[in-house]
Amino acid sequence: MAKNITRPFEYLDNVIGVELNFNKVFYVPEKLRTVKEIQAEIESLENELANLENELGL
């Protein structure tokens, strides 16, 4: 907890509560997709687009 406190604590008359940045304290990074997964998705989208173009006669 000491690493998160930057200045000494003091009571103020006009402030109620505290602010906690939960993203900073409990941050869980997103898992990145592999290059192979991304390439497979691009290929499937290209195939789907080609099928749609063929149906429309483009």
Mean pLDDT of 18-29: 84
Mean pLDDT of 25-52: 95
Confidence of residue 1 (pLDDT cuts 50, 70, 90): low
Q: Which residues contact 25 (CB under 8 A, 6 or more apart)?
A: 4
Backbone Cα Rg of the chain = 26
Mean pLDDT of 37-49: 97
C-alpha torsion angle, residues 18, 19, 22, 26 (rounded to 10) = -50
Task: Give the residue, 27 or 9, on which the prediction is more confident.
Answer: 27
Confidence of residue 58 (pLDDT cuts 50, 70, 90): confident
Region for residue 57 given its phi and psi (left: phi exceeds 0; alpha: psi -120 to 50; beta: otherwise): left
Name the pTM for this structure. Answer: 0.49
Mean pLDDT of 14-32: 83
